[in-house]
């Protein structure tokens, strides 16, 4: 997904980021690590990670092929209807799966839909799995978090950057993802990243490098999941501009008769804030847009040759041809 395809960047509120989803079905058994003494004691940070992630781990499943035994990805139950959210790219071309819960139950699952641009997919499951708590917003640099692994334990980590550009396994860029500080061989795509309040703040993405872990912010993951649940597809919002791939969000070109053009945006404009939230670079701009929907009335703060401007206009829908 190139920068221009988004800004040249869509969530129906079936998944709410402002309230925690209701519990679906019976609660799974929650295991926490509490022993911090003895020869095999768990270090305090690992213990902290397991304690804060207990609810999320009870809502997390291991995704496998119906004919295999290896884990393909993790997925987490989000929302009142028990849909599972995971990494789209990790699933490959498969559409049918078996999922294993922390409680030891096994369910069949089917792919409802996926979005390669954001690396988010939704699975339907034949049973009920307790929903995780969802954070109001994604993480910021410096946040302590816990990342769940394929063994249904968690390890402590920290957000190093809240907006970066990573490379997916097929060479395409993943824009607006956050990065974690510690790579590990236990890392797996689709894993929930849990904040200090025990809420899921992101989903790990499927990248080309084992030594780099990045995650999709929950605002983006929930928006995409809600679109997939409602319509089977994803509508990405669109500014109608091109930006430099790195550095500040400077407009390099404007699509004729696109949303930005109609609002008066011109080449060399520097976009400094979206809906009042400052942005530092092009990746941060794309990350902000990915959490919005076509039709959203956006406010952009712009620097035009030293003159401060504010423009308002409705985001368009990204053309099918990108």
Q: Which residue has the higher pLDDT, 279 or 32?
A: 279
Tell me what the mean pLDDT of segment 104-117 comes to.
Answer: 93
Tell me what the mean pLDDT of segment 60-68 comes to.
Answer: 92
Q: Which residue has the higher pLDDT, 28 or 162?
A: 162
88 close to 95: Cβ distance less than 8 angstroms: no
pLDDT at 318: 82
pLDDT at 286 > cutoff 50: yes
Domains of the chain: 1-231 (2.40.10.120), 237-317 (2.30.42.10)
> How far is CA 124 from each of CA 35, 71, 76, 81, 97, rounded to the nearest angstrom?
36, 18, 11, 9, 10
Where do the H-state alpha helices sit in the chain? 3-6, 44-52, 54-58, 218-231, 259-263, 282-290
pLDDT at 154 > cutoff 50: yes
Average the pLDDT over each of 15-19, 234-238, 295-299 and give the range with the smallest value.
15-19
Share of the chain above pLDDT 90, in %: 49
In angstroms, the CA 242 to CA 219 distance is 23
Q: Which residue has the higher pLDDT, 303 or 318?
A: 303
What sign does the CA torsion over 108, 113, 115, 116 have?
positive
What are the pLDDT digits (tens) for 217-266? 998 899 899 989 998 888 888 899 998 777 788 999 999 999 999 999 99
What are the pLDDT digits (tens) for 175-219? 778 888 876 555 789 999 999 999 999 999 988 776 678 899 998
Q: What is the pTM of this model?
A: 0.77
């Amino acid at each position: 997904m190139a920068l221009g395809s988004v800004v040249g960047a869509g969530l129906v509120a079936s998944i709410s980021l402002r309230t925690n989803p209701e519990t679906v079905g019976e609660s799974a058994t929650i295991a926490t690590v509490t022993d911090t003494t003895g020869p095999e004691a768990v270090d305090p940070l690992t213990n902290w990670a397991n304690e804060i992630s207990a609810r999320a781990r009870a809502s997390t499943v291991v995704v496998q092929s119906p004919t295999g035994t290896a884990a393909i990805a993790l997925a987490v139950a989000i929302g009142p209807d028990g849909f599972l959210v995971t990494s789209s790219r990790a699933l490959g071309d498969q559409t049918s799966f078996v999922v294993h819960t922390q409680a030891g139950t096994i369910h069949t699952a089917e792919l409802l839909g996926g979005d390669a641009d954001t690396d988010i997919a939704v699975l339907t499951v034949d049973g009920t799995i307790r929903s995780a708590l969802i954070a109001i917003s994604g993480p910021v640099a410096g946040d302590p978090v816990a990342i769940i692994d394929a063994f249904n334990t968690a390890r402590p980590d920290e957000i190093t950057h809240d907006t970066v550009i990573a490379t997916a396994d097929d060479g395409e860029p993943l824009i607006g993802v956050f990065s974690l500080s510690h790579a590990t061989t236990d890392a797996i795509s689709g894993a929930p990243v849990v904040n200090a309040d025990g809420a899921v703040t992101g989903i790990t993405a499927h990248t080309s490098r084992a030594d780099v872990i990045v995650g999709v912010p929950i605002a983006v993951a929930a928006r995409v999941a809600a679109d997939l649940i409602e319509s089977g597809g994803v509508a990405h919002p669109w500014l109608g501009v091109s930006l430099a791939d790195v550095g500040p969000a400077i407009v390099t070109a404007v699509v004729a008769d696109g949303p930005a053009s109609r609002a008066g945006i011109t080449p060399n404009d520097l976009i400094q804030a979206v809906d009042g939230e400052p942005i530092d670079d092009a990746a941060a701009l794309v990350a902000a847009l990915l959490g919005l929907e076509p039709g959203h009335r956006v406010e952009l703060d712009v620097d035009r040759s030293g003159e401060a401007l504010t423009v308002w206009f409705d985001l368009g829908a990204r053309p099918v041809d990108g």
